[in-house]
Amino acid sequence: MSSIERDVVVIGAGASGLTAATELTKAGLTVAVLEARDRVGGRLWTDDIDGATLEIGGQWVSPDQDALIETLADLGLETYSRYRDGINIYLGENGERRTFEGDIFPVAQSTEKEIVALIDRLDALVAEIDPERPWAHPRAKELDEISFRRWLETQTDDEEARKNIGMFIAGAMLTKPAHAFSALQALLMAASAGSFSNLVDADFILDKRVKGGLQQVPLLLAERLGDDVHLNAPVRTLRWDENGVTAIADGVEVHARFAILAVPPVLISRISYEPPLPRRQQQLHQHLSMGFVIKVHAVYETPFWRDLGYSGTAFSPYELVHEAYDNSYDGDPRGTLVGFVSDENADGVFELSPEERKQRILESLSHYYGEQALNPVVYYESDWGSEEWTRGAYAASFDMGGLARYGADLRKPVGPIHFSCSDMAGKGYQHVDGAIRVGRETAAAILAAVVP
């Protein structure tokens, strides 16, 4: 066991921990980053699968994500636009296939009216929410006591309108069923992206990708930190008192003035604390859980849907794959589709054998794009639920009532221990932008404590 002394020990080499470590180093402090896995990046992971470069984790950058955009510029990384020329596909309840342009799905006129009215109402409510302090909204408690599904039922009797609006936050963002999280949690999700309209606008929210893959961000940050990043070093025990910490990981222990826990909140209790964390933290971490989604890549010899005039963008609240996009990799002449199977649908297909699951998922893609979708040359399912050091996707959210009750204490430091990750962000919540923002803020809080 090697033993080292640093000003700050950062636990977790995801975008958040590495950003915090970078900022602290720039300010002249010494750091050690301890990472459980044999790679950096956490939920950012770009890999070669059977000859195709795939983004197993996060990938898209939207124009409001200025912290991420600044980091990309600082690291010299370039972006390219998601392919979006052509018409989009929507499947109705009976599987009928309709095409559309713009954001509003081709539904009955009465349903369209309800959808537009719901978007307006949500935008108005979201405008009242400060994503950094959603619990401070005058009706926070009331909005946190009603599930998003029930709230939608109080707004409209049109089930297709409810399903479509529900899908944008439930299946597409929090990756939990709409009965499992509150209206306040849904409003935070939308407020963190600027507005509900932004979430509905795929051209906004899924605007750009990074050449070489988004994992370049943590890889390049870690490269700059050099030997201060320790891989295969899961932290098992954190000893702490008002004067400092000792982080005990496999093979290395670090004595430091401060610790940054840059891990998803569901993993905080994986570590033993001596003494235990205070009552409030022990309680509040139990009220956050990971969503669950399977990200599926299917690579084809050609982007055949483009020849048919399709953009590749497809939605249906009635399909196993509720949303799918053209995800062809920059420079690869082949065509790639990415689709998402969320929450209870994901549970359902994991009951099946891998062959049956693949068949069911490809069949769902074929409902959108036709029979050619059944025969990819490369097929890959990201299964973050099986990843010991993540345990779900995309990120964590509070259970009913948890955000109003505990939100304000989520990032409050405990003595020398600070908390940092995308799951605790306001703006950029659940996204890489949020991970970077919180990483910067956590570093600034430590610097303020060191140099009053």
Interface positions with ligand FAD (CB under 6 A): 11-17, 34-37, 42-44, 57-60, 234-235, 262-264, 267, 270-271, 295, 382, 384, 389-390, 393-395, 421-422, 430-433, 435
The H or E element containing residue 148 is helix 148-155
**Complex with ligand FAD: residue 151 or 394, whichever CB lies closer:** 394
CB of 67 to ligand FAD, least distance (A): 11
Between 151 and 196, name the residue whose CB sits nearer to ligand FAD.
196
Give the nearest distance from C-beta 162 to ligand FAD in angstroms.
25
In whole angstroms, how close is the CB of 116 to ligand FAD at the nearest point? 27
Q: Which residue has the tokens 């009750």?
A: 405
d(C-alpha 356, C-alpha 85), whole Å: 33
Cβ nearer to ligand FAD, comparing 158 with 207: 207
In the bound state with ligand FAD, the residue whose beta carbon lies nearer, of 25 and 59, is 59
C-beta of 13: minimal distance to ligand FAD in Å?
Answer: 5
> Whose Cβ is closer to ligand FAD: residue 162's or residue 295's?
295
Phi, psi of 30, deg, nearest 5:
-100, 145
Residue 147 or 185: which CB sits closer to ligand FAD?
185
Q: What's the token pair of residue 4?
A: 């080292």
The least distance separating ligand FAD from the CB of residue 34, rounded to whole angstroms, comes to: 5
SS (H, E, C) 326-370: ECCCCCCCCEEEEEEEEHHHHHHHCCCCHHHHHHHHHHHHHHHHC
Quote the least distance from Cβ 12 to ligand FAD, whole Å: 3
Comparison of 62 and 111: residue with beta carbon closer to ligand FAD:
62
Least distance CB 428 / ligand FAD (angstroms): 7
Closest CA to 398 of 125, 143, 195, 57: 143
Q: How far is CA 291 from CA 10, 274, 294, 331, 392, in A?
A: 25, 30, 10, 32, 6
Tell me the CA distances in angstroms from 223 to 70, 315, 378, 420, one per residue in order. 18, 39, 31, 21
CA 369 vs CA 43, 99, 338, 428: distances in Å: 29, 11, 12, 32
